[in-house]
Amino acid sequence: MEKEKSTGDFRYAVGAAKVPWHAVGEFYRAGDVLEVVKFLLPPGGDEAAWRQRLAAVESALQALSGEAATATKLTLGQQVQAAEAEARNYFDCRYACLLSNWTAGMEIAYKLSGLQAGDEVIMPAVTFIATMAYPLSIGAKIVFADIDPETINLDPADVARKITPKTRMIVPVHLGGYPVDMAPLMELAAEHGIYVMEDAAHGMGGAYRGRKLGAIGHFGGFSLHEVKNINSFGEGGLLLTNLDCGEQFAQARFLGLDFTRKIKDWLYDISPLTDRFGKLQIPGNHSASELQALGLRLQMKRLDAIIAMRRQAAEYMNGVLSEEPGILVEKTDTADTYGTHHLYLLRIDPKKVNGDIQTLSAKLAAAGLTNITHFGPMYRFRIMKQLGYDENAIAATCPRTEEMFYHSYTHLPLYPLTPEQLRYQAQAVVEAVRDMKRGR
């Protein structure tokens, strides 16, 4: 009699069966894998040579498929578990959760923090919309704090001025990968009983006073979107915490499915989340795929090397630009700060260069340089006006945001630039500033 085969890695543990019920409804074949290879490794300079090599790959894949089994688990399996274990080790934290994206990670952190309608969340006036998406969706109030003009990061002194009895969370954003000054924020949080969530979307691999970014606050995490220093095949997020509530991460990620409990004649129970105040929160569905996890694991192996290359590029930019009066180069790493150099922060003194950043940005664009000021002041968006926020009143409380965004800074790319591209970029900035000084 033929030996009974295992059902594979189906989500539900149904045991061995003569007729297996695989987790994967339709397996991927050699031809599908070939299309993935073509997508990830498109033609370069010599298309004819590429096609010749591709034919050899196709032949090898077909031969391999004759000897291979099929992947029987594509989501929330061993790769996800391994990625999370490696993240816990790398960031020296108790809990790590791989998710569909970082916006989902922030949603879970907000829920476990007990954020409710009417509560206040303090965050920088300059960040991406994802930072405030969940609080707005439940009717919490966003309080915008001003920025540090040297880093465009959250200014702890302004945070202190804007704390009220309704403040529940502070959300520092490590913009461009440069660490926020976390010590005074953590002191404020302890004094007022507030949680801190690090939005370290740009900060994977950075550190502050010897601790990895994302593992300093009560919660923290990273975007693994395609534009970041590393990604998980285009999308993904990683949420960290050292709090006991991290035990709920798996349920928070996948609709509260609780395999430690079962209802009558069924495979599992559904449990709500319990926030810091003991109140119930409803979990969502933010599952990560096995390929996302594999992509993260592969790129995390070279994360430190990637940051080192970006740092080298930033140091080169600083060296060239610092020679031209009126250009303010980005802050370098110190004994306390270790940035990821996701973006290069280019600042100018409008008085010394005879013009502002809008003029410089146009000149750089004309020279073929992509430059993007990250990000538009949050209070200027239409959604905020429609929700009753007074953009001009808020702008008056964030004067450095107004001055810096509209007049003084933009961002440039770093690695992976070729040495020629890097030299061209640095010199183009210098030449554009010199043109401005001449009134051109």
What was the pLDDT predicted at 45? 87
Q: Helices 290-300 and 303-321: crossing angle, nearest 10°?
A: 60
User: Is the per-residue pLDDT at 260 higher than 90?
Assistant: no
In tens, the pLDDT along 315-342 reads: 999 999 999 999 999 999 999 999 999 9
Question: What is the structure's pLDDT at 306?
Answer: 97
| d(C-alpha 38, C-alpha 32), whole Å | 10
Question: Does pLDDT of 180 surpass 50?
Answer: yes
Is residue 11 predicted with pLDDT exceeding 80?
no
What is the rounded average pLDDT of the residues 32-36? Answer: 95
Residue among 75, 139, 84, 86 nearest 110 (CA): 139
**Residue type present at position 414:** L
Order the strands of the 409-412 sheet from edge to edge: 327-328, 344-348, 409-412
| pLDDT 10s digits, 362-399 | 999 999 999 999 999 999 999 999 999 999 999 999 99
Q: What is the CA radius of gyration of the chain?
A: 25
Query: Which element (helix H / strand E) includes 156?
Result: helix 156-162
Contact 142, 123 (CB under 8 A): yes
pTM of the model: 0.94
- Any idea which architecture 303-437 has in CATH? Alpha-Beta Complex (3.90)
Instruction: Say if residue 19's pLDDT is above 90.
Output: no
50-91 pLDDT, tens digit each: 999 999 999 999 999 999 988 888 999 999 999 999 999 999
Q: How far is CA 186 from CA 90, 208, 248, in A?
A: 22, 13, 24
Average confidence (pLDDT) over 137-161: 98
Buried b (16+ CB within 10 A) or exposed e, 198-213: bbbbbbbbbbbeeebb
Higher pLDDT, residue 35 or 6: 35
In tens, the pLDDT along 269-298 reads 999 999 999 999 999 999 999 999 999 999
pLDDT of residue 15: 59
Instruction: State the chain's mean pLDDT as an integer.
Output: 94
Instruction: Read off the pLDDT band of 14 (50, 70, 90).
Output: low
pLDDT at 8: 36
- The tokens describing 364, both together, are 């750089």
Q: Is the pLDDT of residue 1 over 50?
A: no
328 sits in which H/E element: strand 327-328
- pLDDT value, residue 415: 83
78-300 CATH pick, 3.20.20.10, 3.40.50.1000, 3.30.56.10, 3.40.640.10: 3.40.640.10
